[in-house]
């Protein structure tokens, strides 16, 4: 599929998805969401990809939100379908077996903030701004913001952001646990690529097991979570990467992981 609103590149085990509507501040419309769904399917099917980076084209925005010109024309039934469409695709992002990193280079508002929340962690430019401003339009977040944000930063802080619609600077977002690290704008992409390259050197089976175990464990009690961890740990031993990793340690050399998920 040829994309008009996205760019997808893959190299050295790293896929980079760039939201590419800079004149519209990379706002999410139906076309972009459809292309994103296709791109995520391609990434999921590519066994060579071990980590995904998401970022926005231009210097101003990661994603400035959903396209208001499209939302303004929706009937209630169409709005429900649009929200379902966006939720499904962002859930598909969160459900990827591989780690996903958001490189937030500017506005991450509304749907843009919700997109970043579905990633495993966020690195941000000093110029980044985060927020769920839907309340200022007489709306609420519709792509998962009311559910993922409280799970990440706690209910009270999330409600404050949602009720006020106010923006957070990168520093404020880091202080409440929304952002992991902050970089100068010109250093952000290199910093994200550096950590992505580090992650890409790890075994894909263990990366996927770690992501799945954390995700499933957060949605259950500690005892059940520990059981999930035990099972995932044991299954890692069935993959050849575990033998390579332990052998490399004992032989005092760097491991070279080549195992696939279905090994």
Residue 151 to residue 153: CA distance in whole angstroms? 6
Task: For CATH 3.90.226.10, list the domain ranges present in the chain.
Answer: 6-200
Tokens 């401003």 sit at which residue? Answer: 133
Indicate if 114 belongs to the active site. Answer: yes
Render each residue's pLDDT in the chain as its tens digit; 263 residues: 789 999 999 999 999 999 999 999 999 999 999 999 999 999 999 999 999 999 999 989 999 998 888 899 999 999 999 999 999 999 999 999 999 999 999 999 999 999 999 999 999 999 999 999 999 999 999 999 999 999 999 999 999 999 999 999 999 999 999 999 999 999 999 999 999 999 999 999 999 999 999 999 998 999 999 999 999 999 999 989 888 888 989 999 988 888 675 54
The residues of the chain that CATH labels 1.10.12.10 are: 204-250
Q: Hey, is 263 helix, strand or coil?
A: coil
The single residue of 59, 134, 172, 244 carrying the catalytic annotation is: 134
What is the pLDDT at residue 263? 47
Three-state SS across 35-62? HHHHHHHHHHHCCCCCEEEEEECCCCEE
The confidence score (pLDDT) of residue 256 equals: 87
Selected from 3.40.50.720, 3.30.565.10, 3.40.50.300, 3.90.226.10, the CATH number assigned to the domain covering 6-200 reads 3.90.226.10
Check: CATH 2.40.30.10 for 204-250?
A: no
**Options 7, 47, 114, 229, the catalytic residue:** 114
3-state secondary structure 66-92: ECHHHHCCCCHHHHHHHHHHHHHHHHH
Nearest to 105 by CA among 192, 215, 47: 192
Q: Is 70 a catalytic residue?
A: no
């Amino acid at each position: 599929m040829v994309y008009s609103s996205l760019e997808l590149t893959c190299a050295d085990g790293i896929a980079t998805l760039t939201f590419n509507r800079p004149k519209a501040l990379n706002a999410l419309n139906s076309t972009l969401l459809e292309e994103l769904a296709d791109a995520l399917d391609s990434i999921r099917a590519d066994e060579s990809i071990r980590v995904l980076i998401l970022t926005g084209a231009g210097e101003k925005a990661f994603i400035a939100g959903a396209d208001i010109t499209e939302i303004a024309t929706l009937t209630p039934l169409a709005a429900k379908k649009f929200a379902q469409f966006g939720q499904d695709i962002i859930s598909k992002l969160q459900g990827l077996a591989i780690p996903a990193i958001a490189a937030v280079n500017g506005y991450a508002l509304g749907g843009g903030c919700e997109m970043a929340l579905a990633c495993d962690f966020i690195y941000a430019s000093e110029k980044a701004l985060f927020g769920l401003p839907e309340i200022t339009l007489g709306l609420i977040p519709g792509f998962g913001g009311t559910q993922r944000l409280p799970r990440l930063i706690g209910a009270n802080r999330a409600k404050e952001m949602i009720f006020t619609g106010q923006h957070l600077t990168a520093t404020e977002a880091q202080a409440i646990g929304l952002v992991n690290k902050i970089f100068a704008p010109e250093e952000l992409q290199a910093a994200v690529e550096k950590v992505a390259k580090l992650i890409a050197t790890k075994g894909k089976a263990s990366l996927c097991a770690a992501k799945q175990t954390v995700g499933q464990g957060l949605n259950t009690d500690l005892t059940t979570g520990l059981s999930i961890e035990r099972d995932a740990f044991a299954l890692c031993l069935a993959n050849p990467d575990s033998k390579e990793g332990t052998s490399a340690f004992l032989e005092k050399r760097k491991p070279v992981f080549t195992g696939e998920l279905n090994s």
